[in-house]
Structures are given as structure tokens and as C-alpha cells.
Structure 1
Amino acid sequence: MIEVAKRLQTVEEYYFSKKLREVAALAASGKPIISLGIGSPDLPPPPKVLEAISESFTHPNAHKYQSYQGLPELREAMATFYKTQFAVELNPASEILPLMGSKEGIMHISMAFLNEGDAVLIPNPGYPTYQSVTNLVGAKGVFYNLDAENNWMPDFEALEKSDLTKVKLMWVNYPHMPTGAKPTETVFEDLVAFGKRHNILIINDNPYSFILNDAPKSLLAVEGAKDVCLELNSLSKTFNMSGWRVGMVMGSAEHINHILKVKSNMDSGMFFGIQKGAIEALHCADSWYSELNKVYEERRKLVWELADALDCTYDKNASGLFIWAKLPEGVKSEAFIDKILIEKNIFITPGTVFGTQGEGYIRFSLCATSEAIKETIARVK
């Protein structure tokens, strides 16, 4: 019997990897399952993106190994996108690294900067991958609690009172997943100051800026942010390209070079055609975002109706691809979603997937048609 690496004892299979098998098995048995669980966009990418990848197949470089740093014109498009949308100046040659999805970047960044025994500040609730990757590289996750009373923003007073001597890295995620909380006017400035005070690398995971949000923001727009900050972004949600795996990490040339050392030893560049499609996506006119959000606005209103039918409360000012809803007092998240799954054939994500602060909450995805959401409302009522 060959023993597995000890690092695998620190993590479990990703929740959605397991749960979606269960949901698929129910569907295969004939159950009319409607999934409002995972944030996988069901809408198509912009038409010109599909045209670009189709046209790329006959290019002489299409089937060759690609640069670890991506096509120069892709990095140029990313830089232009950040300048236009966030007023952030980036050097495309040295301050941007394309990724095969931003999830890949979480591992690359952790491997580049963390040693065994280093501490990492992780939001609770927050994206589970921050904790699992921290465990896999032998570092220690230190949760900082977020709550509705503070609009799901970090409590800097509490953080300053904690032991930060071993903290090397801090994950933040605004607009926030799973709650949809938008960054306040001052939180990014506070994060940069906090990072500089304690020599902590702050990483903002920023894939939801353009979904139901009129004021996209970047951590890198703060003066001096590149000294202690990185930002991850992705085309998955903004351009309906989750399966294409296109992301990017941005920051100072020094920080990006460290990440490149890891990435270049783990994979090759992404497929030529996907890069060509990504370039077209990044050049989309503002009308793309407004048309996309019209669809999500309609779906969000229906999910609010569904949440009302389930006696849940929610924040109508939240943004992003999900609705974060508070269950009636005393109702447990996982017991509730299992009951709904079995009795109503509806899959919703329990808040506990995202940490202990998610107990008593559930998360609805907007990645289902209006007709499907109306059907869930009918089943519940």
C-alpha cells in the first residue's frame, strides 16, 4: 500500500466536486433537479469571442506551445482593460501574468511566497480554496471573521490586536463572494496601509466587479498599492468564459516575476485560440456589460421572490453572481439545503461551505434561466 503525501491529510475533496456528484446521481435517477448552487454562467460569451477562436484554428502558431507569459497582445489588452475600467496603469511586459483561470493563481502565489509555518489571513466566510491551498503548501490559515453588522468588511481594530508576527499574506475578495458586499470607500486604502504597516502581502481576488455593480473598483488603484498588493481577475464571470480558464494576476514586476518562476515550472501557456478570444472579450464595448446585467437583474428579482418564499432575508444592495440569504433564526444551513434537495429537487449552496460565519445562511446562484427560477418558486410555494 503506497501512502499518500501527508499534505493530503490537511484537505478534503472540494465541496462542489462531491456535492455535484450527488446532485447528478439524483438527476440520473429521474429527479427533476434544478441547480441554483454553483456560479457557472449559462449564457454564451460575446459573439466576436467565438469568431476569434474559430478563426485561430488555421493560424500557423495555433497548435504550438505558447509563452508562459501569454501573447504580448493579450497582456496589452489586459493592461488597456485595467486602465479603462479601473484607472490602473500596468506595464504589460512586467506587471501582468495571464493565468489558466484565477484559481490557478491562488496556488502559484501561495507557492511563490509562503514557507512552511507562515501564517495566512483568510476571510470567514470566504472562498474555500484560500484555506485548502494554504494547507497544501504547509502554511497556517488564520481566519478573520466578517459579519453583516460590519457590511462584511475586515475589522481592522480586531486584526491589529491579533498576533501578526508570522502573517505573510492576506486574502481579500471584493466584491465579496459569497455575500456580494461591495468594497466601502475606504477599505482598499485601509488594506494597503495595513499591509505596509505589517509587511503583509495583500491579494484581492476580483472576478465579480462587473456583475450587477455600477462602480467597479480595483485594489491596485490605491496609491502605493503595488508595493504590498496583488490582484487576481478572471474572464469567467464577466464574459461567460468560466470553462475557457482565462485569468490574470497583476502587481509589481518583482512580485510577478516570483509567481512566473512557479508557473513556468508547472504548466505551459494557454491555448492560442483561447488567448485570441480573450483579447476580443477584453475589447468589448460597455454595452456588453449593460446587456449582461439586464439578464441578471431579471433573475435576481426572481431569486429575491424565491428567498421571500423561503422566509429568508437578504441585502438588495449586494452585487455579484449570487444572492446571500439569511435563514430564519435557528435553522441550520446544511440541514435546510438537504431538505430542499430531497423534498423539492432544488439544489442551493449552504453558507457553511464558506466558513463557520456562513452558518444560518444559504447562497443562490443566478446561473439559471428565469423559467427555471420560476419553477423553483412554484415548487416552494
Structure 2
Amino acid sequence: MITTAKRLTTVEEYYFSAKLREVRQLIAEGKPVINMGIGSPDLAPDASVIAAIQSAVNDDNAHQYQSYQGLPELRLGMADFYKNYFDVDLNSNTEVLPLMGSKEGIMHIALAFLNQGDQVLIPNPGYPTYSSVAKLVEAEPILYDLIATKNWEPDFDALEKLDLSRVKLMWISYPHMPTGATGSLVLFEKLVAFARKHQILLVNDNPYSFVLNDHPISILQVDGAKEVALELNSLSKTYNMAGWRVGMVCGNATFIDAILKVKSNMDSGMFYGIQKGAIAALKLDASWFDILNKVYAQRRELIFQLAEKLGCTYDQNAVGLFVWAKLPAGIHSSEKFIDDILFNQHIFITPGTIFGSNGEGYIRFSLCVTAEKIQEAIDRFDK
């Protein structure tokens, strides 16, 4: 009898992979489901980006294997992006590695730095993939609490009380997903000092910096951060290119070389045309974000109205592609709450529990829904 690897017993299928089958079944039955669960941008990339990929497919080398490190122009575009928006200097040849989406970077980093039995500090609430990947490489996830009363920032006193002798890596994500907490350079300075003190690799997952956020920051802005920190970034939300799968990891050359050693054994380079499109996207000026954020701001105001219809409260100062809302007092199950809405009003909202135990009592709305659809959702509660 052929059996699966034991590591598969440590993880579950990704929540959205399973839940969306249920949503698709309701749609197949004729139910008018409005999906507010997924952070997949519904807006198109800029016209120049589309033109760039269309033109590129006719280039002589467009259909060949590409460099594992990406085109030099792409790495330079990524380095320029960091210089222009974060005032961070990166060597495009040694400190930038393009990725097929930052999600694959999470696995590459885990494979490059974690051994069996190593421990990984993971935010609760936080992106579920951090824990899943740790388990898949046979490391041990150690959850650290983030709570609203501390602005969804780590409690350093609590961290210092932990036995950190086996901790090799720490995941952070600011602007924070799912809560939208912004973080700060002061917080990053504390995190870098903590990582240096305990010789922990710090990884900031940073794909939401430019969505409804007037003050984008990078952990690499902190003096000495490159000694202990990496940063993942992505074009998915920033430039509406989620399906293109373009991301990057930035950090010192030694760390990048280790990740490249893994990556070069797992793919054969990013499609040439996609790289050309990404290069065009990275050349867009700040007016692109102004246009994008006008749309998201309108949608967010409507989501606030919907949250209020449900008796929820929220932080108007949170940033990013989602609205994180606290359920009314007396509601004890986020999953039951969203299921009742899914089956009665045919609106899919994400329960906070998929992001960890500290997500209980919260739900998350995506802004990747048209204003018209959000208004339709609001109207369903008036009938």
C-alpha cells in the first residue's frame, strides 16, 4: 500500500482551497454568492504593463528557460523600487532575488534556514502559511500573541521569557495581515535588536505597504537590519498582478545565496514576458497608487457600512487590502457567524480563526469587491 509522507499529517488543506469549493457549490446551485473572503485584486494592471507582456512574447528568447535570478533589468527595477519608496540601497546583483510570488519565498526561506527540530516564532493572528511551512520542513511553530490592546504588536517582555535557544527564525508582517496594523520604524528597531540579541533570522512579509497607507516602511530601513533580516515583497497587491506570480526577497548577499540554492532546484526561471511586464510596473510613479487607493477608499467606506450593519466594530486607521472587524459582544464563534451569513445572505466573509486563536471574535472583509457588489451586500440586510 502506497502511503503519503508523514509530514502531510501535520498540516491541513489551505482554508480557502477547501472553503471555496463550498462557495462554488452554492454558486452552481444558483445562489448569488458575493465573495468578500479573498484578497485577490479584481482591478487590472496598468495598460503599460499589459502592453509590455504582449510585446515581449515576440522577442527571440521569450520562450526559453530564463535565469534563476531573473532578468538583470527586473532586479534593477526592484532595487530602484526600494530606493525610491523606502530609501533603501540594495545591490541588484546580490541583494535582490525575484520570486514566483512571495508565497513561494516563504517555503524557500524555510528550506534554506530551518532544520528538523528548529523553532519558528509565528504571529497569532497571522498568515496561516507560516505555520504550515514550518511543519512541512519539520520545524516547530511557536506562536507569539498579538492583541488589539497592544496595537497588534509583539510583547517583547513575553518574548524574552521564552526559551529561545532553539528559535532560528521569526515571521513578522507589517502592515499586518489580517488586522491592518501599520507597525512603525520604532517597532522595527526593537525587532532588529531582539533578533540580533538572540541570533534569530527576522523575516518581514511586506506585500501591503502601498494599499491605503500614507507612510510605507521597510524593515531594511533600520540600521543594521541586513545583518539579521530579510524582507519579502510582492507585485500582487501593489500592481494588481496577483495571478502573474511576481515577488521578491531582499537582504544581504549571504542570505540571498542560500535562498537561491533552494530556488534553483525548484523551478527553471520566471516566464520572460511576465518579467517584462513586472519591469514596466516597477517604473510606474506614485500617481498609480493614488488612482488605486481612490478605488479602495470608496470600497472601504462601504465595507465599514456593512460591518456596522452586522454590529461589528473596526479600526478606521488600519491599512491594507482588508477590513478587520470585531464581532458584537456575545458572539462566540466567528466561523458560525460567517456561515450563517453565507447560507442566509449568500455573502462569504473570512472568519478570523483561520489566522490563529487570537482571531476568534473577528471577521475579515476583502476590498477586492466592486462598490456595486458591496452595496448589494448591504442591501441584502435591509430586506
**TM-score, structure 2 normalization:** 0.99
Q: Using the alignment, how far apart are the partners of 1:380 and 1:365 within structure 2?
A: 18
Q: Which letter does structure 2 place at the counterpart of 1:312?
A: C
- Superimposed CA distance per residue, residues 172-198 of structure 1 (whole angstroms, 9 cap, x where no aligned partner): 000000000001341000010000000
User: How does 1:262-341 map onto structure 2 within 5 Å?
Assistant: 262-331=262-331, 332-341=333-342
Determine if contact 2:66/2:272 at 8 Å carries over to the other structure: yes
SS in structure 2 at match of 1:211: coil
Q: Using the alignment, how far apart are the partners of 1:174 and 1:268 within structure 2?
A: 31
Q: Using the alignment, how far apart are the partners of 2:22 and 2:7 within structure 1?
A: 26
- Superimposed CA distance per residue, residues 220-260 of structure 1 (whole angstroms, 9 cap, x where no aligned partner): 01000000000000000010000000000000000000000
Structure 2, unmatched stretches of 5+, are none
Q: CA deviation at 1:85?
A: 0.3
Determine if contact 2:185/2:217 at 8 Å carries over to the other structure: no
Q: Using the alignment, how far apart are the partners of 1:345 and 1:283 within structure 2?
A: 40
Q: Using the alignment, how far apart are the partners of 2:221 and 2:78 within structure 1?
A: 15
Q: CA deviation at 1:341?
A: 0.2
Per the alignment, residue 43 of structure 1 pairs with 43
Q: Which letter does structure 2 place at the counterpart of 1:83?
A: K
Q: Using the alignment, how far apart are the partners of 2:282 and 2:224 within structure 1?
A: 26
SS in structure 2 at match of 1:186: helix
Q: Using the alignment, how far apart are the partners of 1:83 and 1:156 within structure 2?
A: 30
Per the alignment, residue 223 of structure 1 pairs with 223
Determine if contact 2:184/2:217 at 8 Å carries over to the other structure: no
Q: Using the alignment, how far apart are the partners of 2:98 and 2:122 within structure 1?
A: 24
User: How does 1:109-124 map onto structure 2 within 5 Å?
Assistant: 109-124=109-124
Structure 1, unmatched stretches of 5+, are none
Instruction: Figure out how many residues of one structure are paired with residues of the other and give that number.
Output: 381
Q: Which letter does structure 2 place at the counterpart of 1:86?
A: F
Per the alignment, residue 90 of structure 1 pairs with 90
Per the alignment, residue 360 of structure 1 pairs with 361
Q: Using the alignment, how far apart are the partners of 2:265 and 2:285 within structure 1?
A: 36
Q: Using the alignment, how far apart are the partners of 2:364 and 2:330 within structure 1?
A: 17
State the 4+ residue runs in structure 1 displaced beyond 2 angstroms. Answer: none
User: How does 1:17-96 map onto structure 2 within 5 Å?
Assistant: 17-96=17-96
Q: Which letter does structure 2 place at the counterpart of 1:115?
A: N
Q: Using the alignment, how far apart are the partners of 1:184 and 1:141 within structure 2?
A: 25
Q: Using the alignment, how far apart are the partners of 1:185 and 1:252 within structure 2?
A: 19
Q: Using the alignment, how far apart are the partners of 1:184 and 1:262 within structure 2?
A: 32
Per the alignment, residue 376 of structure 1 pairs with 377
Q: Using the alignment, how far apart are the partners of 1:260 and 1:119 within structure 2?
A: 22
Q: Using the alignment, how far apart are the partners of 1:213 and 1:309 within structure 2?
A: 26
Determine if contact 1:205/1:231 at 8 Å carries over to the other structure: yes
Q: CA deviation at 1:329?
A: 1.7
Determine if contact 1:330/1:360 at 8 Å carries over to the other structure: no
Q: Using the alignment, how far apart are the partners of 1:328 and 1:353 within structure 2?
A: 19
SS in structure 2 at match of 1:165: coil
Determine if contact 2:185/2:222 at 8 Å carries over to the other structure: no
Per the alignment, residue 206 of structure 1 pairs with 206
Q: CA deviation at 1:121?
A: 0.1
Per the alignment, residue 146 of structure 1 pairs with 146
